Amino acid sequence: MARSKSSNGQKRSNVQYGEEQVTSGEGGETHQIAEGNIPILTTQQGVPVSDDQNTLRIGARGPAAMEDFHFREKIFHFDHERIPERVVHARGFGAHGFFETYESLSDITSADIFQRAGEKTPAFVRFSTVAGNKGSVDLARDVRGFAVKLYTQQGNWDIVGNNIPVFFIQDPMKFPDVVHAVKEEPDRGFPQAASAHDNFWDFISLMPESMHMIMWVMSDRAIPRSFRFMEGFGVHTFRLVNAAGKSTFVKFHWKPKLGMQSVVWNEAVKINGADADFHRRDLWNSIQMGDFPEWELGLQLFDEEFADKFDFDVLDATKLIPEEQVPIRRVGRLVLDRCVDNFFAETEQVAFCTQNIVPGVDFSNDPLLQGRNFSYLDTQIKRLGGPNFTHIPINAPKCPMHHFQQDGHMAMKNPVGRANYEPNSWGDEGGPRESPQGFHSYPAEEAGAKRRLRSETFADHYSQARQFYISQTAVEQTHIADALVFELSKVERPAIRSRVVAHLLNIHETLAQNVADGLGLKELPKPAQAAKPTRQDLKASPALSILKNSPKSLKGRKIGVLVTDGVDAKLFSAIQEAAENEGAVIEVIAPLIGGVQASDGTWIEAKQKLEGGPSVLYDVVALLVSDDSAAMLAKKAAARDFVADAFAHSKFIGYTPATVALLQKAGIGDSLDKACIALNGAGDASKFVTASRDLRFWDRQTN
């Protein structure tokens, strides 16, 4: 067959690599790019590649050659480089770190991780949303997954929890239903990453046990400002068992060192538009800057006697134990200090299983936990292709492993030697053996008829929902009502809206009335039938409120500084210094990304262009507008939005005298309050930063 050549008979492509141009293709030599000793591109088999720009073909315009192994390998891998995403918690972000034990806990557990004060254990943490797919936004109103993998010397221990201490359901039989209900509706494929639709609220309105969780999901807990500013919970009751076999019940808590903080709903919507990766970027940037996020591990420890006397069943995942009744014992700290090297290899392929516990830790009979122990392993086998997902480095224990498990899909290593079974009589060559020092399940005595039933001790569905609501500040209660109104206003069937309000009447009459008024219900429905009456005697738990536990600090927060040409150099430097002393981060926004020239002739680099850096991205804003630029800035819609949003979201605002024209144009010039602080000179910078420790001026929402 005659062969055709390209027009020059020799070369195929010219590709620019930095400052060096490399020629490749037919007749072109294979060589290493000299600058920086960049290695030669190869196939997965190690074969050097001469042309990565063109497929092998018969003639310049002819058909592709089937023998092009490089193309086939490259496109084959591309076609298969996605694994099935998680059914829930698909959108996640992870980081490496360590857990440091404060003190020996040998009196309550034999878990190796808690035996020696000061010992550091490698850790990997993955945060996630529940409802959306991998491509959804970070600031959806949703539960946040908080999963921690601890690589202990006695195996991997996974604490697979959420940023909310309770859950929607009591029995794992209903897990597929709650997930199906909250996901996009199957006939239309939307809404994405949103619970504001008929299917979800139809399900919830028929499941009274979900009402406690609904209070949490409609609260500010479901729209956290950052992964760094949210709590984590193990949700279920577990056991800790010491060397003598004594059991202590435990609930796990992760307490953020920087305190809790959330955003308001209007702010979340705008953040999603401005930066759909807001939470991911925040965690990545904080670690890269060396501002390592930290949490303390807190334990709620209690015995059988307390469990028997407690007002609710400790095995019910829709209930919590107030911290005022069982105080938190802080036993160690979790520090995230290293970003992943490859998102897919680590964050996407990490496999968490609630069944992964270590000697000294054991399960309770929480039915939802029992179901998760089955489901998680089954899910990982499906998602990661087979039983050998522990061969993936992110999932592999960092302690020695010895077993007879072999073969299977993607087995990276197999046991060596003749024996692949146990018991065997091959002596030292026969492989590993069990040991009395291995894992022992707590020998709890169990008895009863084998039946499908729900314990009567699980029947109170409203009392703790009411307790959560009355534990919130007035501002937080308003946010809950507003969230319910927003969500239910997206529900098309009036009967569903009415059923939800009927449940709310069993929680708090004022809440129900506010939601009914917000929906325009002509009359209140009758309260939903309750298996048990709502208890009115449960006291408020201040620990359940975000605002009652405000950190009163700007540490770890971000100040957005809007500057223009001619900005007062001394004032800008003073705000920088005050922010640094506070532990806050400054980000400069300017009309042009190149930056601005300050009053002393120095150049200030910008991080964001005004149109791409709205105030929703910041905790506090400072408007350093010069006299010469004030009129120009007031004409910009993005500048007016920057100011109006900051004010609407109750943020602290610092402003120079020249900014008044912009404030007037934004419609807030006559509404300035004590959280709007005039910056007349460098001496006002410290006052502004100190005042901003409150993070929000909530009186602005109530006045």
Q: Are 620 and 554 in contact, with CB atoms under 8 Å apart?
A: yes
Q: Could you tell me which of 286, 326, 269, 141 has the C-alpha nearest to residue 587?
A: 286
pLDDT value at residue 439: 86
pLDDT band at 46 (very low <50, low <70, confident <90, very high): confident
Q: Are 621 and 587 in contact, with CB atoms under 8 Å apart?
A: no
Q: Could you tell me which of 147, 160, 146, 155 has the C-alpha nearest to residue 113?
A: 155
pLDDT band at 453 (very low <50, low <70, confident <90, very high): confident
pLDDT value at residue 30: 38
The model's pLDDT over 511-531, given as tens digits with 9 standing for 90+, comes to 999 999 999 999 999 999 999
**Catalytic hit among 156, 162, 199, 356:** 162
pLDDT value at residue 440: 87
pLDDT value at residue 3: 38
The sign one gets for the Cα dihedral 20, 26, 28, 33 is positive
pLDDT band at 462 (very low <50, low <70, confident <90, very high): very high
pLDDT band at 649 (very low <50, low <70, confident <90, very high): very high
Q: Can 373 be counted among the known catalytic residues?
A: no
Domain 13-79 grouped into CATH 4.10.91.20: yes
- Residue 556, phi-psi category: left (phi > 0), alpha (psi -120 to 50), beta (remainder): left
**Catalytic hit among 89, 197, 236, 503:** 89
| CATH no., domain 552-702 | 3.40.50.880
Q: Could you tell me which of 208, 263, 271 has the C-alpha nearest to residue 230?
A: 263
pLDDT band at 21 (very low <50, low <70, confident <90, very high): very low
Instruction: Let me know how long the chain is.
Output: 703
Say whether pLDDT at 28 is over 60.
no
Range 103-108 average pLDDT? 98
Give helix 175-182 / helix 367-383 axis angle, nearest 10°: 60
Q: Can 31 be counted among the known catalytic residues?
A: no
Q: Which of 60-64, 255-259, 402-406, 508-512 has the lowest mean pLDDT?
A: 60-64
pLDDT band at 320 (very low <50, low <70, confident <90, very high): very high
Range 608-629 average pLDDT? 96
Q: Are 408 and 420 in contact, with CB atoms under 8 Å apart?
A: no
332 — phi, psi (to 5°)? 180, 175
- The ranges assigned to domains in the chain are 13-79, 92-184+222-391, 552-702
585 — phi, psi (to 5°)? -115, 135
620 — phi, psi (to 5°)? -140, 150
Give helix 265-274 / helix 474-489 axis angle, nearest 10°: 60
Burial 431-450 (b: 16+ CB within 10 A, else e): beeeeeeeeeeeeeeeeeee
6 vs 506, higher pLDDT: 506
Q: Could you tell me which of 209, 336, 355 has the C-alpha nearest to residue 284?
A: 336
The sign one gets for the Cα dihedral 128, 369, 544, 551 is negative
The model's pLDDT over 420-447, given as tens digits with 9 standing for 90+, comes to 888 889 888 888 888 888 888 898 888 8
The model's pLDDT over 61-78, given as tens digits with 9 standing for 90+, comes to 778 787 888 887 777 677
Q: What is the DSSP letter of 134?
A: T
Q: Could you tell me which of 293, 295, 355, 378 has the C-alpha nearest to residue 156?
A: 355
The model's pLDDT over 185-225, given as tens digits with 9 standing for 90+, comes to 999 999 999 999 999 999 999 999 999 999 999 999 999 99
| CATH no., domain 92-184+222-391 | 2.40.180.10
Q: Which two tokens stand for residue 477?
A: 């209660």
Say whether pLDDT at 597 is over 70.
yes
pLDDT band at 19 (very low <50, low <70, confident <90, very high): very low
Using CA atoms, how far residue 586 sits from 313, 577, 610, 619, 691, in Å, is: 48, 10, 15, 10, 16
| pTM of the predicted protein model | 0.91
Q: Which residues pair with 559 in a beta bridge?
A: 586, 620
Q: What is the mean pLDDT of the chain?
A: 91
The model's pLDDT over 132-167, given as tens digits with 9 standing for 90+, comes to 999 999 999 999 999 999 999 999 999 999 999 999
Q: Classify strands 247-256 and 294-302 as parallel, antiparallel or unpaired.
A: antiparallel
pLDDT value at residue 682: 96
